[in-house]
Structure 1
């Protein structure tokens, strides 16, 4: 599997492009904005766009979902249904944040913990990680030892929980149960900032180190 990271929006959100090398099928994770930049990156990585995957429904992660889905005729998978209210609020989110207008959408498939999604022949485990938003999911690829975590966990930090329906204790528990149970050498792509590994965060992240087990 190949991947590329395209920072988008003034928030520098990491839009991820995941490519199955066996089939050349491609998924776009969290296309939050700057649609032309994403389309350029898709041309550079090559392959056939197959679907859009969504970790959670904050504006900087989903602002361009409706436009990209329409432009490339792609289905949308994710997030968990508990983030429906955030999708419904997209126009208000855009107005409040000074972003370009953004349209709500209905995912072709809502995701639950324990589901799987595929990109070509590459299968990702879906893990439900509420706390930053109630419907946040992450995508884990065991063979590649890679997990796309959205705004659950960062290099040295964790997601904010001061948004509507956010909850700090719920987030910490989700990180412990769904991410810190992975091997130390699993790398992760966060929603913002540089990549890291589960082992590094287990040892050095002040929010979660020493809390596992």
Structure 2
């Protein structure tokens, strides 16, 4: 049984998820900022990270990537369609806000393409390319434990914004309906911001999915 720890980090309280198993190994999803808080949790729980996985490359999901990658000597995974986002503020969204510094992160170590699944150590997950919020958004589904990390594709009662670089509302809704709402209805969906939800809850109550 996998364990899920969530930290709300950075200027917009982005959810960073740390998924761990019985062997004290873990993977880190979307370390958006405040690397020290992530390191403190890993030390406190005696966890050894194996990789950093990014649901997408907007600034609020990547701020602690380089510091953690260097400290733990672990690879970073990102969809290849966002190859240019990590180093370009105009694409990762940080250039849109005068109050923010320009976020620039080194290239990913591993590029996700069209593979249907991914295995990292003891962690096995199915991959769904869920573009719309961004061109390379990926959702990571753990079928045995009945949960998915969905980034900013779908929220409890809402959907991801589509006014940033290469966003598309039509494509976003298609991704949600074809990849996330088709999961078993009680699957826990863990988004990039806010509380978890389920396909059943969103089908019944999400106003954006009635359009």
CA distance in 2, matches of 1:175, 1:205: 12
CA distance in 2, matches of 1:88, 1:100: 13
**TM-superposed deviation, 1:94:** 4.3
2:146–2:188 CA contact under 8 A, matched in 1: yes
Q: What's the counterpart of residue 75 of structure 1? A: 75
Q: In the alignment, does 2:30 pair up with 1:41?
A: no
Structure 1 residues 135, 146: CA separation in 2 closer, same or farther (over 3 Å shift)?
same
CA distance in 1, matches of 2:119, 2:191: 20
* Gaps in structure 2 of 5+ consecutive residues: none
* Gaps in structure 1 of 5+ consecutive residues: none
Please tell me the root mean square deviation across aligned C-alpha atoms, in Å.
1.8
**TM-superposed deviation, 1:41:** 1.6
2:185–2:199 CA contact under 8 A, matched in 1: yes
CA distance in 2, matches of 1:121, 1:62: 24
Aligned length: 208
The equivalences for 1:50-199 within 5 A come to 50-78=50-78, 80-90=79-89, 93-94=93-94, 96-97=96-97, 98-99=99-100, 102-199=103-200
Q: TM-score, normalised by structure 1?
A: 0.91
CA distance in 2, matches of 1:116, 1:192: 24
**TM-superposed deviation, 1:120:** 2.9
